[in-house]
Amino acid sequence: MAKGFDIRRQTGFTTIALSCFVVLYLPIILLVVYSFNAGDSIAFWEGFSWRWYQSAWANEQVQDATIRSVVIATWAMVISTICAVLAALATTRQGKYRGSGFVFALINQPLMVPEIVTAVALLIFFAMIKVATGYTGLFYLILAHSAFCIPFAYMPIRARLQGMDLSLEQAAMDLYASPWRVFRRVTLPQLWPGILAGAMLAFVISLDDVVITEFVKSAGQDTLPTYMLGQIRRVVTPEVNAISTALLAISVVMVLAFFFLSRSRK
């Protein structure tokens, strides 16, 4: 009997796959390892130490940038997730209509347009508002991050809605439940895994954004990634490695949390 096509049996597949994993993960492993370097070098190992984690923890600039990053990412996560839920409901709970493809492309525009273009456009737009109002607070960064994170939250929420069984919602409507009651009692409990996935993804995307933040922020509004970029321009120390490792740990914890939440939900 003829066997089906199996990519794993193709010549060179294992070598190519291993090479890809090495290129992807070896730099991250080196980053984590050298964050514990006792010396000032990021290329020569001089012993194990928590020195650079302690330095980053005691650095007031790092503290301010971290708090600012978390505040912006939290607001961006909440706003973008709410907008993504509404957009996903509007694009999945009705039949095909003229212009639906354009609406889908419009929602996902930040994914298709180069980020530098979006950053320059936001810079010009917000500069006009700043001149007219005189306000230079964090609202601009929150709004910019929220707009950029919407498609990242939208995709998992939309995928979850498309995979849900409509018969339960239809049964609730047949029993004279209002649209809001159907959403609250039937749709939302099933949609929670998608909402959590979208919210976590939006939070992480906002937390590590550099390009849009660098263009939109005002003086004294450095986030953690832009602070790290500024440090790298001046002098590179393992403190940057320690901060990067902390950000990596936060991302891993959020992914694991979502995995266990979704598994327990099932």
How many residues make up the chain in this entry?
266
Residue-level pLDDT at 1:
45
Cβ atoms 125, 59 nearer than 8 A = no
- Digit-coded pLDDT (tens) for 102-149: 777 788 888 888 889 989 999 999 999 988 888 888 899 999 999 999
Query: Per the structure block, which two tokens stand in for 105?
Result: 């492309």
pLDDT at 3: 61
Task: With CA atoms as reference, report the closest residue to 224 among 254, 193, 241, 247.
Answer: 247
Enter the tokens of residue 36: 């514990």
Q: What is the pLDDT of residue 234?
A: 75
Q: Is 48 helix (H, G, I), strand (E, B) or coil?
A: strand
Rounded Cα gap, residues 113 and 118, in angstroms: 7
Distance of CA 78 to the CA centre of its chain: 12
pLDDT in tens, 60-108: 888 898 899 999 999 999 999 999 998 888 888 776 767 677 777 788 8
Q: What is the pTM of this model?
A: 0.82
CB-CB neighbours of 170 under 10 Å: 12
What tens digit of pLDDT does each residue of 167-212 get?
777 788 877 778 788 888 888 788 888 888 889 889 988 988 889 9
Domain ranges for the chain: 60-265
Domain covering 60-265 assigned CATH 1.10.3720.10 in the classification: yes
